[in-house]
Homo-oligomer: A and B are copies of this chain.
Amino acid sequence: MTHPSGTASQLGIIACRGSRTALATPRQRRGSQRVTMGDVARIAGVSPSTVSLYLRRPDEVSEQRGQRIQAAVERLGYLPNTMAGGLASSRSRIIGVLVPTISNSFFAATLDTLEKRLREAGYQLLIGNTEFDEAREEELVRSMMSWSPAGLVMTGFRHGRRTVSMLLDSDIPLVEMWDYGQPALDMVAGFSHYATGQLIARHLLERGYRDTAFISPSFSRDVRAGERYRGFQEGMEQGGARVTMRELGGATDTAEAGALLSELMAERPSISAVFCANDMVALGVMFECQRRGWEIPGRLAVAGFGNLEFTPNTVPPLTTVEPPKYEIGRQVAELLLARLGKSDAPGARQVDLGVRLITREST
């Protein structure tokens, strides 16, 4: 579980309220039978199929009847039954989206713009957490497919064998996001984490750092951090430099990063730069430096990944890589809508959104 309360090294805790009350229900059930299209038709004096047509393509219905239908809809507060419509037409306006965890700020940002763009186009998001678990992913794909979704969005390229075959068997448009450069099932919107690692390597080499470290959450939880490491490590090695790697154990990146840094520097004091797998880890490293009075970048240079909200304001401002977290959402929506709009759309489109290196004073 990700609940942080256990980790807080609080000096004092005061509980405030915490009551449970069962009140009389303030909601009065204004008993309501569901209003159907037939009811609207009766009130408007037309046939149900005319109502259906009006609702879907208003301009194919005469203006006079259209107005009568509109009035009836409003008077009755008619809400179409989407499931009936979906069943009859055998398609739905649902897009299923799978992320490892919604609460990861990167994915949350992507979901934000994705939801926005797709809602504007009349689609709705069915969201599931895979929790980095292939079995859960398979189960989720299965239950999303049972909705006959208009499209599916998944994170990364790693899926179970059975999941892949379900995906291939259907012809539901699929976008794999947040990664790029490996064999994909259909469409892709993301960027190369390997190239990101290389980008930072090049930067640190240019600035003359030769003895470096990489601190990261566990690769088993964050596959993409592992890819960044690969890129970084190979890049540094090619430049004749050295990388010491350390994985964090727990869930809270910032807290543990400080401790790990101390350990690492005690073992190998010659390290002069650290690339952190994300900005939260970098923040923990910077706090540790502050506590020890180590100058950044004088004693130790620090670089991160994410360009989180606070990174331009750390002391000193943090060098980092900005991933296209919002653009990914937009691009996924674009790909999906293009495919859904016209069947003559080009086949699988794979979009590399790239990243930006933001050089600040910490390196």
Q: Which residues of A contact B (CB under 8 A)?
A: 1-5, 7-32, 34, 77, 79-84, 86-87, 90, 92, 94, 101-105, 108-109, 111-112, 115-116, 119, 124-129, 131, 140, 142-148, 166, 168-171, 174, 183-186, 191-192, 195-196, 199, 203, 252-255, 258, 280, 283-284, 287, 290-291, 307, 309-310, 312-315, 317, 322, 326-327, 346-361
Kindly report how many copies of this chain are found in the complex they form together.
Answer: 2
Q: Please tell me which one of the listed residues B23, B77, B83, B147 contacts residue A350 in the complex, with CB atoms under 8 A apart.
A: B23
Bound complex: CA A94 to CA B312 (Å): 41
A253 touches B103 (CB 8 A): no
Per a CB cutoff under 8 Å, which of B20, B22, B101, B314 touches A287?
A: B314
**Which interface residue of A79, A145, A351, A354 has the most chain B CB atoms within 10 A?**
A79
**A313 with B284: in contact, given A112-B2, A128-B119, A169-B77 (CB under 8 Å)?**
yes
Q: Are B252 and A309 in contact (CB under 8 A)?
A: yes
Measured in the bound complex, the distance between the Cα atoms of B27 and A255 in whole Å is: 44
A254-B4 contact, Cβ under 8 Å, with A14-B356, A108-B108, A358-B10: no
Would you mind naming 20 contact pairs between A and B with Cβ atoms under 8 Å apart? A4-B307, A7-B312, A10-B312, A14-B203, A16-B357, A20-B351, A22-B349, A23-B347, A25-B348, A26-B183, A26-B348, A27-B185, A27-B348, A81-B146, A103-B111, A105-B108, A115-B129, A125-B128, A284-B313, A290-B290
Q: Indicate whether A77 sits within 8 Å of B166 (C-beta atoms), given known contacts A26-B185, A128-B119.
A: yes
A14-B357, A18-B353, A314-B287 known; A5 vs B322 contact (CB < 8 Å): yes
Given the known A-B contacts A20-B352, A125-B126, are A12 and B346 also in contact in the complex, defined by CB atoms under 8 Å? no
Contact of A12 among B196, B253, B280, B357 (CB under 8 A): B357
Q: Is the interface of A mostly helix, strand, loop or mixed?
A: mixed
Structural contact, A142 and B346, CB atoms closer than 8 A:
no
8 Å CB contact of A126 from B104, B109, B126, B358: B126
Are A283 and B312 in contact, CB atoms less than 8 angstroms apart? no
Cross-chain contact of A103 among B31, B109, B131, B283 (Cβ < 8 A) = B109
A146 — which chain B residues lie within 8 A by C-beta?
79-82
Partner among B80, B128, B145 whose Cβ is within 8 Å of the Cβ of A79: B145
Bound Cα distance from A119 to B129, whole angstroms: 9
Other 15 A-B pairs with CB < 8 A, given A13-B356, A82-B147: A1-B326, A11-B360, A11-B361, A12-B358, A17-B191, A22-B346, A23-B350, A24-B347, A27-B186, A28-B168, A83-B92, A102-B112, A119-B129, A126-B126, A254-B310
Q: Which residues of B contact A128 (CB under 8 A)?
A: 115, 119, 124-125
Contact at A313–B258, with CB atoms within 8 Å?
A: yes
Measured in the bound complex, the distance between the Cα atoms of B199 and A152 in whole Å is 46
